[in-house]
Amino acid sequence: MNQNYIIPNEWSIIEEGFHKENITTSESIFSIGNGAMGQRANFEETYTGETFQGSYIGGIYYPDKTRVGWWKNGYPKYFAKVLNAPNWIGIDIKIDNQLLDLAKCKVLNYRRELNMKDGILIRSFTAKFSDEKKIEVEAYRFLSLDFNEVGAIKYSVTPINFSGEIEFIPYLDAGIVNEDSNYDEFFWEILQIEEEETEAYILSKTFKTEFHVCTGMKIELALNDYEINLDKETEKTEKNISFKYKTNIKQGDTFTIYKYGSYTQSMNHPKAELIFAAEKVLQKAAIIGFDNLLDKQRFAWAKIWKTADIIIEGDLKAQQAIRFNIFQLNQTYSGKDSRLNIGPKGFTGEKYGGSTYWDTEAYCIPFYMSTKDKNVAKNLLLYRYNQLDKAIKNPELLGFNGGAALYPMVTMNGEECHNEWEITFEEIHRNGSMIYAIYNYVNYSGDYSYIPEFGMEVIIAIARFWCQRATFSSDKERYVILGVTGPNEYENNVNNNWYTNYLAKWCIEYTLENLGYLKDKFQSDYNRIISKTNLNEQEIKEMQTIATSMYFPYSEKNEVFLQQDGFLDKELIPVSELDSSQRPINQKWSWDRILRSPYIKQADVLQGIYFFENHFENHLIKDHFDFYEPLTVHESSLSPCVHSILASKINRIDKAYEMYLQTARLDLDDYNQEVHEGLHITSMAGTWLSIVQGFGGMRNFDNRLSFNPQIPSQWESYSFKINYRGNTLKVYKNHKTCEFINESDNPIDIYINNKKITLSQQMKVKI
Amino acid sequence: MNQNYIIPNEWSIIEEGFHKENITTSESIFSIGNGAMGQRANFEETYTGETFQGSYIGGIYYPDKTRVGWWKNGYPKYFAKVLNAPNWIGIDIKIDNQLLDLAKCKVLNYRRELNMKDGILIRSFTAKFSDEKKIEVEAYRFLSLDFNEVGAIKYSVTPINFSGEIEFIPYLDAGIVNEDSNYDEFFWEILQIEEEETEAYILSKTFKTEFHVCTGMKIELALNDYEINLDKETEKTEKNISFKYKTNIKQGDTFTIYKYGSYTQSMNHPKAELIFAAEKVLQKAAIIGFDNLLDKQRFAWAKIWKTADIIIEGDLKAQQAIRFNIFQLNQTYSGKDSRLNIGPKGFTGEKYGGSTYWDTEAYCIPFYMSTKDKNVAKNLLLYRYNQLDKAIKNPELLGFNGGAALYPMVTMNGEECHNEWEITFEEIHRNGSMIYAIYNYVNYSGDYSYIPEFGMEVIIAIARFWCQRATFSSDKERYVILGVTGPNEYENNVNNNWYTNYLAKWCIEYTLENLGYLKDKFQSDYNRIISKTNLNEQEIKEMQTIATSMYFPYSEKNEVFLQQDGFLDKELIPVSELDSSQRPINQKWSWDRILRSPYIKQADVLQGIYFFENHFENHLIKDHFDFYEPLTVHESSLSPCVHSILASKINRIDKAYEMYLQTARLDLDDYNQEVHEGLHITSMAGTWLSIVQGFGGMRNFDNRLSFNPQIPSQWESYSFKINYRGNTLKVYKNHKTCEFINESDNPIDIYINNKKITLSQQMKVKI
**Per-residue pLDDT tens for B11-24?**
999 999 999 999 99
Which of B70, B475, B591 faces A425 most closely, judged by CB atoms?
B591
DSSP assignment of A624-639 equals HHHHHGGGB---STTH
Considering the segment(s) B705-767 as one domain, its CATH architecture is Sandwich (2.60)
Helix (H) or strand (E) holding B14: strand B12-16
Interface test with A, best of B592, B594, B599, B635 (most A CBs within 10 A): B592
Helix (H) or strand (E) holding A135: strand A134-143
For residue B421, list chain A residues with Cβ-Cβ distance below 8 A: 590-592
pLDDT one-digit tens code per residue, B216-270: 999 999 999 899 999 999 999 999 999 999 999 999 999 999 999 999 999 999 9
Which of B492, B496, B569 faces A495 most closely, judged by CB atoms?
B569
A276 in Cβ contact with A211 (< 8 Å): no
Distance, in Å, from the CA atom of B502 to the CA atom of B600, rounded to the nearest integer, reads 18
Q: Is residue B353 scored above 80 in pLDDT?
A: no
Q: How many CB atoms lie within 10 A of CB B579?
A: 7
CA closest to A418 among chain B residues:
B69
CATH 2.60.420.10 in chain A: give the residue spans. 704-767
CATH 2.70.98.40 in chain A: give the residue spans. 22-67+75-305
C-alpha distance from residue B673 to each of B2, B51, B356, B633, B677 (Å): 7, 16, 24, 17, 9
Amino acid at A496: N
Yes or no, beta carbons of A596 and B471 under 8 Å apart? yes
Which of A68, A425, A589 faces B69 most closely, judged by CB atoms?
A68
CATH number of A704-767: 2.60.420.10
Distance, in Å, from the CA atom of B503 to the CA atom of A286, rounded to the nearest integer, reads 78
A493 in Cβ contact with A565 (< 8 Å): no
Q: What is the pLDDT of residue A764?
A: 94
CATH number of A323-703: 1.50.10.10
Q: Is residue A178 scored above 80 in pLDDT?
A: yes
Provide ipTM, 2 decimals. Answer: 0.92
Which of A472, A482, A569 faces B495 most closely, judged by CB atoms?
A569
CA closest to B570 among chain A residues:
A473
Q: Specify burial of residue B530 (Cβ count, 10 A radius: 0-12, 13-18, 19+).
A: middle
Beta bridge partners of B392: none
Yes or no, beta carbons of B571 and A67 under 8 Å apart? no
β-bridge pairing A748-752 and A706-707: parallel
For residue B397, list chain A residues with Cβ-Cβ distance below 8 A: 590
Task: Please give the mean pLDDT across all residues of chain A.
Answer: 96
Sequence-distant (≥ 6) Cβ neighbours of residue B252 within 8 angstroms: B158, B159, B160
Instruction: Tell me which of A45, A415, A489, A635 is the catalytic residue.
Output: A489
Q: What is the pLDDT of residue A449?
A: 98
Q: What is the pLDDT of residue A735?
A: 97
Interface test with A, best of B351, B493, B562 (most A CBs within 10 A): B493
Residues counted in chain A: 767
Q: Closest Cα of chain A to B546: distance in Å?
A: 15
Q: Is residue B182 scored above 90 in pLDDT?
A: no
For residue A596, list chain B residues with Cβ-Cβ distance below 8 A: 471, 482-483
For residue B589, list chain A residues with Cβ-Cβ distance below 8 A: 73, 399
Q: Closest Cα of chain B to A632: distance in Å?
A: 19
- The class of domain A22-67+75-305 in CATH terms is mainly beta
Q: What is the pLDDT of residue A186?
A: 86
CATH number of B309-704: 1.50.10.10
For A352-366, A710-724, B241-255, B461-475, which range has the lowest pLDDT when averaged over its residues? A352-366
Query: What is the average per-residue pLDDT within B36-53?
Result: 97
Yes or no, beta carbons of B568 and A473 under 8 Å apart? yes
- Residue A75 binned pLDDT confidence (cut-offs 50, 70, 90): confident
Does the active-site annotation cover A235?
A: no
Q: Is residue B1 scored above 70 in pLDDT?
A: no
B508: helix, strand or coil: helix
Classify residue B578 by its DSSP letter: S
Q: Closest Cα of chain B to A159: distance in Å?
A: 51
Q: Closest Cα of chain A to B670: distance in Å?
A: 22
The size of the A-B interface in CB pairs under 8 A is 133
φ and ψ at B141, to 5 degrees?
Answer: -150, 140
Which of B398, B476, B595 faces A483 most closely, judged by CB atoms?
B595
pLDDT one-digit tens code per residue, A696-728: 999 999 999 999 999 999 999 999 999 999 999
Interface test with B, best of A492, A569, A572 (most B CBs within 10 A): A569
For residue A425, list chain B residues with Cβ-Cβ distance below 8 A: 590-592
Q: What is the pLDDT of residue B81?
A: 85
Distance, in Å, from the CA atom of A712 to the CA atom of A314, rounded to the nearest integer, reads 11
B746 in Cβ contact with B761 (< 8 Å): yes
Task: Please give the mean pLDDT across all residues of chain B.
Answer: 96
pLDDT one-digit tens code per residue, B283-297: 999 999 999 999 999
In chain A, what is the straight-line distance between the N-terminal and C-terminal CA atoms, in Å? Answer: 37
Yes or no, beta carbons of B596 and A472 under 8 Å apart? no
CA closest to A564 among chain B residues:
B566
CATH 1.50.10.10 in chain A: give the residue spans. 323-703
CA closest to B395 among chain A residues:
A590
Q: Closest Cα of chain A to B55: distance in Å?
A: 26
For residue B496, list chain A residues with Cβ-Cβ distance below 8 A: 569
CA closest to B493 among chain A residues:
A493
pTM of the model: 0.94
Instruction: Tell me which of B15, B416, B457, B489 is the catalytic residue.
Output: B489
Q: Closest Cα of chain B to A559: distance in Å?
A: 14
Which of B421, B495, B591 faces A72 most closely, judged by CB atoms?
B591
Q: What is the pLDDT of residue A1?
A: 45
Query: What is the average per-residue pLDDT within A2-10?
Result: 89
Which of B72, B419, B495 faces A590 most closely, judged by CB atoms?
B72
Query: What is the average per-residue pLDDT within A10-23?
Result: 96
Yes or no, beta carbons of A472 and B571 under 8 Å apart? yes
Yes or no, beta carbons of B590 and A493 under 8 Å apart? no
pLDDT one-digit tens code per residue, B380-409: 999 999 999 999 999 998 889 889 999 999
For residue A570, list chain B residues with Cβ-Cβ distance below 8 A: 471, 473, 482
Query: What is the average per-residue pLDDT within A644-670?
Result: 95
Beta bridge partners of B732: B719, B739
Q: Closest Cα of chain B to A562: distance in Å?
A: 13
For chain B, the maximum distance between any two Cα atoms, rounded to a whole number of angstroms, is 90
For A476-480, B419-423, B669-673, which range has the lowest pLDDT when averaged over its residues? B669-673
pLDDT one-digit tens code per residue, A90-130: 999 999 999 999 999 999 999 999 999 999 999 999 999 99
Beta bridge partners of B65: B78
Q: How many CB atoms lie within 10 A of CB A266?
A: 20
Q: Closest Cα of chain A to B424: distance in Å?
A: 9
Q: Is residue B348 scored above 80 in pLDDT?
A: yes
CA closest to B398 among chain A residues:
A590
Q: Is residue B475 scored above 90 in pLDDT?
A: yes
A152 in Cβ contact with A247 (< 8 Å): no
Of A350-354, A493-497, A666-670, the range with the highest mean pLDDT is A493-497
Residues counted in chain B: 767
Yes or no, beta carbons of B399 and A593 under 8 Å apart? yes
Interface test with B, best of A477, A491, A592 (most B CBs within 10 A): A592
Beta bridge partners of A55: A39
Yes or no, beta carbons of B475 and A592 under 8 Å apart? no
Q: Is residue A462 scored above 60 in pLDDT?
A: yes
The reply to whether CATH 2.70.98.40 applies to domain B35-305 is yes
Query: What is the average per-residue pLDDT within B109-118?
Result: 98
Q: How many CB atoms lie within 10 A of CB A250?
A: 11
Q: What is the pLDDT of residue B2?
A: 61
Q: What is the pLDDT of residue A66?
A: 78
